[in-house]
């Protein structure tokens, strides 16, 4: 229903079949703009279609896709599990039997998920017609999600006696099963069960069947107007249950009608009694009582506070003397003063607990009134989700006991104290805490409280406010909450954003712990906000100066610098010139000779001299050379050696001229 109401705000919504078996609910949705259809042929192309909780077959979804329909899938999670389970069991070659109503929309949809249509039986008596079961194949038994648990158990036992292998799958909705069990217990202690729900509601019918099996008379109604109060004459105790599709307001109206009828009967009885009493009162007595009212124990009256002392309050209730309201007849803390809770001239409601006409003294009490008022306040808070407050008066191992006022206490289990684990609840002792009443048991005056729910709702509101306020490009302050191998989660005011490891530093890092630590406050830049996914993308490095802006001022082509080898790849090595700035030394620029592998020349982490060949700050690319950065070795002087020449006589010129050429060469060198 919430999905339908939300979707219809954006335009017309078509619903395939009745959303629920409840006429008032359907009428209300129709008034809001939901159109109910029985077939997709009634839905125009490109429209929005809502799949109800009963689910549909794959063929329906394929047809919706061909019509380009926007599908809102409200299929119940238990029905979805049943669909997937039946499809898997059929694919595994098992003989599938479904306990349910073959004409129910849920079962019609489920049957479409099996390539071979499963057998659908309504009760164990139909097992006799199953003559086509293969004894060599296992039988898988599943149930419609609204089936009676006891019927499924009976069905399984009888099926097991008929075939050798039976696999039973409990596919009954847990909420349905729990409701049936509760109704079964309730039906044993009441005179009549009133079952509220649509006439076509399968789970409502099952609840009625459970009541009948328990031997109690049932009255089935769809709403309060259909309840005939004459059927409840002379009935002492009435039990009430309702199908899952019955709106909560309908249940309340049925209960209210019975309660109002009871009140009206009591009022009529009182009026008859008063009339008979008045007939017995003489005219003289009426005249006397016009001046002074008479009071009896149990009367509840209103009066005006005329005096406040340390131990009691005097209240003018129209008697010949003021009524006395003792301190002990009010619900107060041990050190609380009367003047802090009551004031002169205040109108108060009190009950008469003692009346001495001879002494003209009336004793009053506020305890019963305050408890009644407080209980009504607690019930209202429970029904409407109102946030309340109280003082923690006691800490126990399992949680905390909270003083709610009016003489009532509530218990807050440890798991509902906070959104995170609390090792010691004593930190809350005597402290005021805010909470919601999440469970109330009137017969035992037991209340279960949750502070966690209040904190979660506050966090959700804060999260929405932050998500709507954040814009990409903003630089904000945050606190590192936790580190992972892929980044860090940063609290930016009540909601966590992710700084991916690639956005942590301009330099290459392998572990977020190299840059950040838990609890550290940092400035981050918002780079992505997706409210519908509660996702915030943050960048630490973009909140810092871009090192590529400085690099153009720090270096220029032709400069020789020192850097650290950060990576070795097939085509060369990357050298870090400054934090966040790496340049590439191509393999051809590693040495003056041919290099097959860069690791032959350098190792990762080694400091090397490089010459800057080119800087492209727009592309964030620097070309480097180790070959040109290394000084070229000086050419060594090679002394020429003159080969002796043969004169043809067997003698060389050296033999003939001796040291003549050597002396000449030495002279030239000088």
pLDDT in tens, 49-79: 999 888 998 888 999 999 999 999 999 888 8
pLDDT at position 666 over 80: no
pLDDT at 470: 84
Element (H, E) at 529: strand 521-530
β-bridge pairing 535-539 and 521-530: antiparallel
pLDDT at 14: 92
Distance, CA of 565 to CA of 568 (rounded, Å): 8
Token look-up 């350098």 returns: 602
Which of 353, 291, 343 minimizes the C-alpha distance to 319?
Answer: 291
Instruction: Write the pLDDT tens digit of every residue in 147-184.
Output: 887 788 888 888 887 777 888 888 887 777 778 888 88
β-bridge pairing 217-221 and 13-16: unpaired
Long-range pairs, 290-293, Cβ under 8 A, ≥24? 292/318, 292/319, 292/320, 293/317, 293/318, 293/319
Distance, CA of 39 to CA of 273 (rounded, Å): 63
pLDDT at position 631 over 60: yes
For residue 272, give every residue at least 6 positions away whose Cβ sits within 8 Å of its Cβ, in sequence order, or none. Answer: none
pLDDT at position 662 over 70: no
Highest mean pLDDT among 71-75, 228-232, 493-497: 71-75
Rounded alpha-carbon distances, angstroms, from residue 184 to 150, 172, 193, 536? 11, 16, 10, 50
Span of 117-126, 250-259, 585-594, 639-648 with lowest mean pLDDT? 639-648
Q: Within 93-247, where are the H helices?
A: 105-111, 149-160, 174-187, 202-213
Distance, CA of 600 to CA of 321 (rounded, Å): 112
pLDDT at 285: 41
pLDDT at position 639 over 70: no
Instruction: Write the pLDDT tens digit of every residue in 266-314.
Output: 545 545 444 444 444 433 343 334 344 577 788 888 889 888 888 889 9
Span of 357-366, 420-429, 561-570 with lowest mean pLDDT? 357-366
pLDDT at 269: 52
Mean pLDDT for the stretch of residues 74-86: 88
Q: What are the tokens at 92?
A: 């595994």
Given a contact cutoff of 8 angstroms between Cβ atoms, the answer to whether 179 and 146 are in contact is: no
DSSP-based helix, strand, coil % in the chain, nearest 5: 35, 30, 35
Distance, CA of 39 to CA of 62 (rounded, Å): 13
Distance, CA of 566 to CA of 569 (rounded, Å): 10
Q: What are the tokens at 373?
A: 């008022």
User: What is the pLDDT confidence band of residue 228, given thresholds at 50, 70 and 90?
Assistant: confident
Which of 631, 633, 652, 632 minimizes the C-alpha distance to 642?
Answer: 652
Q: Over the chain, what is the mean pLDDT?
A: 81
Report percent pLDDT > 70 for the chain: 87
Q: What are the tokens at 400?
A: 């905390």
Q: What are the tokens at 292?
A: 């002074």
42 included as an active-site residue: no
pLDDT at 290: 38
pLDDT at 649: 46
User: What is the pLDDT confidence band of residue 400, given thresholds at 50, 70 and 90?
Assistant: very high
pLDDT at 617: 78
Assign 176 to helix, strand or coil.
Answer: helix
For residue 317, give every residue at least 6 positions away whose Cβ sits within 8 Å of its Cβ, in sequence order, or none. Answer: 293, 295, 301, 302, 303, 323, 350, 362, 364
β-bridge pairing 312-316 and 300-308: antiparallel
Rounded alpha-carbon distances, angstroms, from residue 403 to 389, 632, 645? 9, 89, 125
Assign 575 to helix, strand or coil.
Answer: strand
Catalytic residue among 106, 370, 503, 582: 106
Other CB atoms within 10 A of residue 377 CB: 17
Given a contact cutoff of 8 angstroms between Cβ atoms, the answer to whether 405 and 390 are in contact is: yes
pLDDT at 71: 92
Token look-up 């359907």 returns: 26
Given a contact cutoff of 8 angstroms between Cβ atoms, the answer to whether 20 and 3 are in contact is: no
Residue 448 or residue 277, greater confidence: 448
**Complete edge-to-edge strand list for the sheet that includes strand 238-242:** 217-221, 192-196, 238-242
Which of 440, 434, 460, 436 minimizes the C-alpha distance to 450?
Answer: 436
Distance, CA of 382 to CA of 387 (rounded, Å): 9
Using a 10 angstrom Cβ sphere, with 0-12 exposed, 13-18 middle and 19 or more buried, the burial of residue 393 is: middle
Instruction: Write the pLDDT tens digit of every residue in 21-50.
Output: 777 778 888 888 899 998 899 999 999 999
Residue 265 or residue 282, greater confidence: 265
Element (H, E) at 349: strand 347-356
pLDDT at position 532 over 70: yes
Strands, E assignment, 8-99:
13-16, 34-37, 48-51, 70-73, 95-99
End-to-end CA distance of the chain: 110
pTM of the complete model beyond 0.85: no
pLDDT at position 664 over 70: no
Distance, CA of 348 to CA of 370 (rounded, Å): 11
Given a contact cutoff of 8 angstroms between Cβ atoms, the answer to whether 145 and 119 are in contact is: no
The alpha carbon torsion through 330, 332, 337, 342 (nearest 10 deg) reads: -50
Mean pLDDT for the stretch of residues 466-483: 86
Number of residues that make up the chain = 670
Q: What are the tokens at 158?
A: 């009888």
What are the two backbone dihedrals, phi and then psi, of residue 152, each rounded to the nearest 5 degrees? -65, -40
């Amino acid at each position: 229903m919430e999905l339908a109401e939300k979707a219809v705000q954006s335009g017309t919504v078509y619903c395939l079949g009745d959303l629920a078996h409840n006429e008032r609910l359907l009428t209300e949705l129709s008034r809001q703009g939901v159109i109910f259809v029985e077939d997709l042929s009634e839905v125009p192309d490109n429209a929005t279609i809502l799949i109800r909780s009963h689910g549909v077959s794959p063929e329906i979804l394929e047809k919706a896709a061909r019509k380009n329909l926007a599908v809102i899938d409200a299929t119940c999670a238990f029905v979805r599990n049943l669909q997937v389970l039946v499809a898997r069991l059929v694919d595994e070659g098992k003989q599938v039997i479904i306990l349910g109503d073959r004409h129910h929309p849920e079962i019609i949809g489920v049957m479409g998920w099996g390539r071979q249509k499963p057998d659908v039986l309504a009760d164990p008596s139909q097992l006799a017609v199953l003559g086509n079961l293969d004894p060599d194949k296992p039988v898988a038994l599943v149930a419609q999600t609204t089936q009676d648990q006891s019927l499924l158990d009976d069905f399984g036992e009888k099926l097991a006696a008929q075939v050798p292998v039976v696999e039973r799958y409990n596919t009954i909705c847990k909420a349905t099963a729990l409701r049936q069990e509760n109704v079964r217990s309730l039906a044993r202690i009441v005179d009549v069960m009133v079952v509220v729900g649509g006439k076509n509601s399968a789970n409502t019918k099952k609840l009625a069947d459970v009541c009948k099996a328990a031997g109690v008379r049932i009255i089935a109604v769809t709403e309060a107007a259909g309840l005939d109060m004459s059927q409840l004459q002379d009935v002492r105790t009435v039990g009430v249950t309702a199908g899952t599709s019955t709106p909560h307001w309908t249940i309340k109206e049925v209960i209210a009608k019975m309660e109002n009828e009871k009140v009206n009967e009591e009022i009529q009885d009182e009026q008859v009694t008063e009339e008979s009493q008045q007939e017995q009162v003489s005219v003289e007595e009426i005249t006397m009582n016009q001046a002074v009212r008479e009071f009896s124990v149990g009367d509840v009256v209103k009066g005006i506070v005329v005096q406040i002392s340390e131990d009691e309050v005097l209240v003018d209730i129209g008697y010949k003397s003021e009524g006395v309201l003792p301190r002990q007849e009010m619900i107060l803390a041990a050190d609380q003063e009367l003047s802090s809770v009551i004031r002169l001239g205040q109108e108060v409601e009190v009950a008469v607990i003692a009346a001495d006409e001879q002494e003209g003294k009336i004793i009053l009490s506020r305890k019963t009134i305050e408890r009644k008022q407080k209980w009504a306040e607690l019930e209202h808070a429970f029904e409407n989700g109102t946030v309340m407050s109280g003082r923690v008066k006691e800490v126990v191992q399992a949680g905390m006991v909270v003083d709610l006022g009016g003489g009532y206490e509530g218990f807050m289990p440890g798991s509902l104290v906070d959104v995170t684990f609390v090792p010691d609840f004593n930190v809350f002792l005597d402290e005021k805490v805010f909470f919601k009443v999440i469970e109330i048991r009137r017969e035992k005056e037991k209340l279960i409280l949750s502070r966690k729910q209040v904190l979660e709702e506050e966090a959700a509101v804060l999260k929405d406010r932050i998500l709507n306020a954040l814009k990409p490009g903003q630089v904000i302050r945050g606190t590192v909450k936790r580190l992972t191998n892929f980044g860090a989660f940063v609290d930016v005011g009540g909601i966590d954003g992710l700084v991916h490891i690639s956005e942590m530093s301009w330099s290459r890092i392998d572990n977020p712990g190299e840059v950040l630590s838990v609890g550290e406050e940092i400035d981050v830049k918002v780079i992505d906000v997706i409210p519908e996914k509660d996702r915030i993308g943050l960048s630490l490095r973009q909140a810092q100066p871009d090192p590529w802006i400085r690099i153009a001022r720090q270096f220029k082509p032709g400069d020789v610098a020192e850097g650290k080898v950060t990576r070795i790849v097939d085509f060369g090595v990357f050298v870090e010139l400054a934090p966040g700035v790496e340049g590439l030394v191509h393999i051809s620029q590693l040495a003056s000779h041919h290099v097959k592998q860069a690791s032959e020349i350098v190792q990762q982490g080694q400091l090397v001299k490089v010459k800057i060949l080119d800087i492209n700050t727009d592309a964030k690319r620097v070309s480097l050379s180790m070959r040109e950065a290394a000084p070229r070795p000086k050419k060594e002087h090679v002394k020429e050696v003159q080969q002796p020449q043969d004169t043809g006589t067997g003698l060389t010129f050296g033999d003939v001229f001796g040291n003549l050429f050597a002396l000449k060469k030495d002279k030239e060198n000088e």
